[in-house]
């Protein structure tokens, strides 16, 4: 996630902010320019963006911002849709009549918008793939009901279901400990489940399918039986040598989704570091191998090897910072050569998809240029 600044006073502001704490200007994220902009009211609930890239375009708040205060994205005033580019993907939202649901829904929406931001940065469409008869990405946000089976977070036929209990920090921590998952986060769920969506959209019955099976295994193995075996027997004994996580060893589909989520996490962290101008230049001569310039990892068309070159030093620094204040490693992973090749597969697939999209959708090229900047 890149850094944002108020267009009025220049103060540092954040992706979730709805107003600048320094000057008080209303803030809203504008998907058409991929920026958090300072806004001024005009008339009829329309807003003028102070961001130069808006070019005089007027906007109105997303319906979920006006009515539910759970969204800070805006819609061009000439767009007939009531909801923003992220909220219009919602198929089911929590029952607002239940008091505790609102705060959980708000957290869920923040995590979802972080995912949508990343997908748009990478040129990955959410509106579906007509050539493959694959539907647009949709979300269902549900809560457990007394006496009913618990809601399971997962993906099916283009629809991602999220149990909003995952937005409760205490509940998520309990599940993290029970399932032995070192990093169980709300945004991580969205990244993982989006991997299942894009597997169907980009890999199945495509030229990439054979390479997928070579790296991840044959997905035709019974999925239900594989998950039962995982929860009864635990992960495969050799999981650490070939997967990014223990759960990835359960089935080739889960290996793919975990690897996809890991790649999105890498992109997010590198973009954040690059946006803050972070560079690593250790003074000791023997530390040259942990020098890094994250900005170079975010240039358009960058190779996966270049990403790794700047990724590993960044993780060493982050873990050292956490340890210095007595916290667990921020990045508790070891990327073996086998895991790296799977991540390279994700990188190559997304790079090809982005290139194909940029040839037909001009704004995708512009997004890549913004990344490089």
Distance CA 180, CA 50 (A): 47
Going by the DSSP 8-state scheme, the letter that residue 47 receives in this structure is E
Distance CA 31, CA 88 (A): 13
75 three-class SS = strand
Q: Do 160 and 119 belong together in one domain? A: yes
- Using alpha carbons, list the distances in angstroms from residue 60 to 16, 39, 78, 262: 17, 10, 9, 35
Identify the pLDDT of residue 184.
Answer: 76
Q: Do 258 and 371 belong together in one domain? A: yes
100 part of a folded domain: yes
Q: Do 62 and 114 belong together in one domain? A: no
- Between these two residues, 356 and 246, which has the higher pLDDT value? 246
What confidence tier does 365 reach under pLDDT thresholds 50, 70, 90? Answer: very low
105-131: burial string, b at 16+ Cβ within 10 Å, e else: bbbbbbbbbbbbbbbbbbbbbbeeeee
Q: Do 289 and 339 belong together in one domain? A: yes
- As for how many domains the chain has, the answer is 3
77 part of a folded domain: yes
Q: Do 58 and 146 belong together in one domain? A: no
Question: Which of 52, 85, 118 is the last residue in one of the domains?
Answer: 85
The CB density around residue 207, as the number of other CB atoms within 10 Å, is: 8
Identify the pLDDT of residue 348.
Answer: 95
245 part of a folded domain: no
Q: Do 193 and 259 belong together in one domain? A: no
Distance CA 107, CA 90 (A): 15
Which residues lie across from 38 on neighbouring strands?
27
Q: Do 13 and 66 belong together in one domain? A: yes
Q: Do 61 and 97 belong together in one domain? A: no
Distance CA 161, CA 180 (A): 22
- pLDDT, averaged across the chain: 89
One DSSP character per residue, 233-248 reads H-S-TTHHHH-SSSGG
Q: Do 98 and 72 belong together in one domain? A: no
243 part of a folded domain: no
Identify the pLDDT of residue 132.
Answer: 82
Kindly report, residue by residue over 39-71, the tens digit of the pLDDT. 999 988 899 999 999 988 999 999 999 987 899
Identify the pLDDT of residue 373.
Answer: 36
Q: Do 354 and 293 belong together in one domain? A: yes
Distance CA 264, CA 84 (A): 22
Question: Which of 181, 202, 223 is the last residue in one of the domains?
Answer: 202
The residue written with tokens 């629809």 in the block is 159
Query: Beta strands 138-142 and 159-163: pairing type?
Result: parallel
184 part of a folded domain: yes
- Structure tokens given for 130: 């007509």
- Between these two residues, 18 and 281, which has the higher pLDDT value? 18
Residue partners of 17: CB distance under 8 A and separation at least 6: 4, 27, 36, 72
Kindly report, residue by residue over 98-147, the tens digit of the pLDDT. 888 899 999 999 999 999 999 999 999 999 888 788 889 999 999 888 88
Cα torsion 152, 86, 191, 195: sign: positive
Q: Is residue 259 a contact partner of residue 244, using CB atoms and an 8 Å limit?
A: yes
Provide the whole-model pTM. Answer: 0.91
Kindly report, residue by residue over 300-356, the tens digit of the pLDDT. 889 999 999 999 999 999 999 999 999 999 999 999 999 999 999 999 999 998 887
Cα torsion 270, 355, 362, 135: sign: negative
Distance CA 250, CA 19 (A): 44
Q: Do 266 and 357 belong together in one domain? A: yes
Question: Which of 34, 67, 85 is the last residue in one of the domains?
Answer: 85
pLDDT of 73 strictly over 50: yes
237 part of a folded domain: no
239 part of a folded domain: no
Mean pLDDT over 235-247 rounds to 95
Identify the pLDDT of residue 144.
Answer: 85
Q: How many helices (H) and strands (E) does the chain have?
A: 12, 11
247 part of a folded domain: no
Q: Do 191 and 268 belong together in one domain? A: no
pLDDT of 239 strictly over 70: yes
Q: Which domain holds residue 258?
A: 253-373
Which range is most confident: 202-206, 209-213, 350-354? 209-213
Mean pLDDT over 84-92 rounds to 96
């Amino acid at each position: 996630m890149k850094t944002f600044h108020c267009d009025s006073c220049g103060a540092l502001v954040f992706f979730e902010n709805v107003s600048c704490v320094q000057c008080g200007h209303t803030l809203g994220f504008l998907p058409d320019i991929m920026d958090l902009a300072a806004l001024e009211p005009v008339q009829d609930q329309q807003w003028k963006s102070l961001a130069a890239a808006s070019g005089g375009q007027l906007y109105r708040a997303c319906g979920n911002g006006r009515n539910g205060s759970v969204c800070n994205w805006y819609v061009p005033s000439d767009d007939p849709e009531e909801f923003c580019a992220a909220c219009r993907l919602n198929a089911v939202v929590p029952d607002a009549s239940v008091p505790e649901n609102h705060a959980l829904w708000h957290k869920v929406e923040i995590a979802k918008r972080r995912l949508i931001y990343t997908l748009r940065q990478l040129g990955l469409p959410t509106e579906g793939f007509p050539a493959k008869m694959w539907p647009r990405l949709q979300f269902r946000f549900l809560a457990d009901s007394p006496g009913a089976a618990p809601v399971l977070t997962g993906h099916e036929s283009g629809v991602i279901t999220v149990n909003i209990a995952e937005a409760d920090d205490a509940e998520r921590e309990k599940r993290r400990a029970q399932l032995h998952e070192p990093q169980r986060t709300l945004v991580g769920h969205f990244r993982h489940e989006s991997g299942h969506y894009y597997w169907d959209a980009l890999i199945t019955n495509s030229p990439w399918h054979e390479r997928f099976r070579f790296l991840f295994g044959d997905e035709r193995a019974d999925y239900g039986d594989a998950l039962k075996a995982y929860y009864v027997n635990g992960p495969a004994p050799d999981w650490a040598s070939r997967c990014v996580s223990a759960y990835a060893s359960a089935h080739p589909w889960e290996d793919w989704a975990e690897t996809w989520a890991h790649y999105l996490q890498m992109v997010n962290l590198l973009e954040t570091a690059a946006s803050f101008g972070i560079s690593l230049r250790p003074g000791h001569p023997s530390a040259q191998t942990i020098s890094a310039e994250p900005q170079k990892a975010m240039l358009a068309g960058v190779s996966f090897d270049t990403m790794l070159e700047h990724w590993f030093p960044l993780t060493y620094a982050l873990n050292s910072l956490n340890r210095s204040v007595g916290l667990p490693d921020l990045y508790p992973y070891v990327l073996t050569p086998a895991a790296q090749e799977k991540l390279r597969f994700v990188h190559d697939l997304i790079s090809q998809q982005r290139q194909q999209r940029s040839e037909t959708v001009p704004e995708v090229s512009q997004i890549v240029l913004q990344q490089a900047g």
